[in-house]
Chain A
Amino acid sequence: MSIIKTEKLRKVYKDVVALEGLDLAIEEGELFSLLGVNGAGKTTTLKMLTGLTKPTGGDAILCGHSILTESDRLRGLVDISMQETAVARKLTVEENIAFYAELCGQTKKEQAETVASLSKTFGFEKVLNKQAQKLSGGWQRKLSIALALVSNPKILFLDEPTLGLDVLARRELWNTISSLKGKMTIILTTHYMEEAEALSDRIGVLKDGRLLFVGKKEELFALTDKNSVEEAFIELVSGKGGQPA
């Protein structure tokens, strides 16, 4: 059974159609990359799936709950790490994690366990007592992603997680994201095609609010007769590579 299933999901802002009739099914444990140029509808899709904005039409079922009628029940089941680093700047790394864990209803003992577990996963041991504002951009982004894992969500949305990071920090973050594969369902949006190629189980391509393609990268290569996601993506969105999915 799909952990995410959208049915004719649609969003219109005034007279601009941001997303048109999105039908998509994502399986549990999958790492699914949503690709598209600016304004394609990626962030709008994420916002609707996380309950930040209401759809104009259609519905989506996440973990068996409708985003239209049961969005409150999704709290704790889904989490998001947004494009912008979202941490408490004057709290230390440890305090940030403990604060977020307390918000999620964890006891003091559970908070300590969460801090220890995430420190191990993300390698925070050396920066645990540093204020977030004094960390490098890469570490701040790591912390931002780590906070999204505190609630142990079933579905994690990563909106351009490596945006603005240098190549080393990006690679390090890829390793961290890879280590999460299989433990939860991850929906990733990115402008870095090599990121989608390295990390994804399946890829979806959006253009002007419509889903052009959904499938494995090998299927994308076959459809476009290219052998890299970047080349195949360019072929597809520039209108040479087939019909909407």
Chain B
Amino acid sequence: MKQSLARIRALTGRNIKELLRDPLSLVFLILMPLGMEILFYFLFSKLTSQFQMKYLAPGIVVFSQSFLTLFSGLMIAVDRSSAFLTRLYVSSAKPHEFIFGYAFSLLPISLAQSILFFVVGGIIDPSLFSARMIAAVAVSLIPAVFFIGSGILFGSLCTEKSIGGVASILIAGQSMLSGMWYPIDGLGKGMLTLMNVLPFRPATLLVQNLLGGVASPFDDFVKPLLIVLAYTVAIFTAAIFAFGSKMKAK
């Protein structure tokens, strides 16, 4: 057990270094969402409530997390293609240790995203600073785990070349189906149902509601939480199986 934890810690440290040394990951995980948060607030917040900071900041947090899928997937796909995973598997590490190593390396980055985008939002709109912000930061880690699990799944199944395309489907899903960029009142019933059963809108609502205040505990918190949790468990289970079977196949 102690040795296993030491290996997970070593893998986590290595993965964090690899991620932080990739300039593109810093651009997509931090700089671009930060620019969007500031720019969209000043451009559109007076035109539509969608871009008021209490909605925009949580939306940006979850949107930025969707890029974790791309970078976790890319890291795994590259490791697989370079035989790096195989050599580690022969010498010491076990499949579940790799999965924890990937997941734990991305969670601190996700936490940093949440804190940064909420604090910047709070500087622009000081009414955001409250105990609810701490709760929103904590709960935002649940969608982060969903996106990390998706990355592990896609990275296990895709090649280094195809992972970008596949991950971008999820990023586009988060962007278009979360309802964060446009008012959804005029949308048809079918579209609304689709948005409510997929994880993207519930993930955004979950964090938005915690920051803005929960009026109905079930509708505003429990329901979106259960939907996101269900997807997270399902995608992580699939990721564990996919990663394990790919390791065996290798």
Contacts of B91 in A (CB 8 A): 75-76, 79-80, 100, 103-104, 148, 151
Q: Mark B52-91, 1 if CB is under 8 A from A, else 0.
A: 0000000000000000000000000010001110111111
Given contacts A103-B7, A151-B92, contact A88 B87 (CB under 8 A): no
Interface residue B6 (Cβ < 8 Å from any Cβ of A):
yes
Contacts of A105 in B (CB 8 A): 3, 6-7, 92
Q: Is the CB of A85 within 8 A of B82?
A: yes
Contacts of A81 in B (CB 8 A): 87
Q: Is the CB of B13 within 8 A of A99?
A: yes
Interface residue B10 (Cβ < 8 Å from any Cβ of A):
yes
Stretch at the interface among A89-97, A182-190, A201-209: A89-97
Within 8 Å by CB of B82, from A78, A84, A91, A151, lies A84
How far is the CB of A174 from the nearest CB of chain B, in Å? 22
Interface residue A87 (Cβ < 8 Å from any Cβ of B):
yes
Given contacts A75-B91, A103-B91, contact A84 B83 (CB under 8 A): yes
Dominant SS at the B interface?
helix
Q: Is the CB of A103 within 8 A of B10?
A: yes
Q: Is the CB of B87 within 8 A of A80?
A: yes
Interface residue A20 (Cβ < 8 Å from any Cβ of B):
no
How far is the CB of A85 from the nearest CB of chain B, in Å? 7
Q: Is the CB of A90 within 8 A of B87?
A: no
How far is the CB of B4 from the nearest CB of chain A, in Å? 10
Contacts of A90 in B (CB 8 A): 17-18, 21-22
A17 to B78, CA, bound (A): 31
Q: Is the CB of A52 within 8 A of B82?
A: no
Interface residue A232 (Cβ < 8 Å from any Cβ of B):
no
Q: Is the CB of A52 within 8 A of B13?
A: no
Contacts of A58 in B (CB 8 A): none
Contacts of B11 in A (CB 8 A): 103
A80 to B90, CA, bound (A): 7
Q: Is the CB of A148 within 8 A of B87?
A: yes
A99 to B93, CA, bound (A): 12
Within 8 Å by CB of B83, from A78, A86, A131, lies A86
Interface residue A50 (Cβ < 8 Å from any Cβ of B):
yes
Interface residue B250 (Cβ < 8 Å from any Cβ of A):
yes
Interface residue B246 (Cβ < 8 Å from any Cβ of A):
no
Interface residue A211 (Cβ < 8 Å from any Cβ of B):
no
How far is the CB of A118 from the nearest CB of chain B, in Å? 15
Interface residue B14 (Cβ < 8 Å from any Cβ of A):
yes
Contacts of A99 in B (CB 8 A): 10, 13-14
Contacts of A87 in B (CB 8 A): 82, 84
Interface residue A229 (Cβ < 8 Å from any Cβ of B):
no
Contacts of B87 in A (CB 8 A): 79-82, 86, 144, 147-148
Q: Is the CB of A52 within 8 A of B78?
A: no
Interface residue A23 (Cβ < 8 Å from any Cβ of B):
no
How far is the CB of A107 from the nearest CB of chain B, in Å? 10
Interface residue A51 (Cβ < 8 Å from any Cβ of B):
yes
A88 to B93, CA, bound (A): 15
How far is the CB of B95 from the nearest CB of chain A, in Å? 13
A194 to B11, CA, bound (A): 39
How far is the CB of A132 from the nearest CB of chain B, in Å? 10
How far is the CB of B238 from the nearest CB of chain A, in Å? 24
Contacts of A148 in B (CB 8 A): 87, 91
Interface residue A102 (Cβ < 8 Å from any Cβ of B):
yes
Q: Is the CB of B89 within 8 A of A52?
A: yes
* Chain B minimum-CB-distance residue to A147: B87
Q: Is the CB of A52 within 8 A of B84?
A: no
A87 to B250, CA, bound (A): 17
Among residues 34 to 86 in chain A, which have CB atoms less than 8 Å away from a CB atom of chain B? Answer: 50-52, 75-76, 78-86
A83 to B14, CA, bound (A): 23
Given contacts A91-B14, A102-B13, A104-B92, 5 further A-B contacts (CB under 8 A): A78-B90, A84-B83, A102-B6, A105-B6, A131-B21
Residue numbers of B with Cβ under 8 A of A are 3, 6-7, 9-11, 13-14, 17-18, 21-22, 78, 82-84, 86-93, 250
Residue numbers of A with Cβ under 8 A of B are 50-52, 75-76, 78-91, 95, 99-100, 102-105, 131, 144, 147-148, 151
* 9 closest A-B pairs by CB: A102-B10, A84-B83, A86-B83, A86-B87, A90-B21, A90-B18, A86-B84, A82-B83, A103-B10
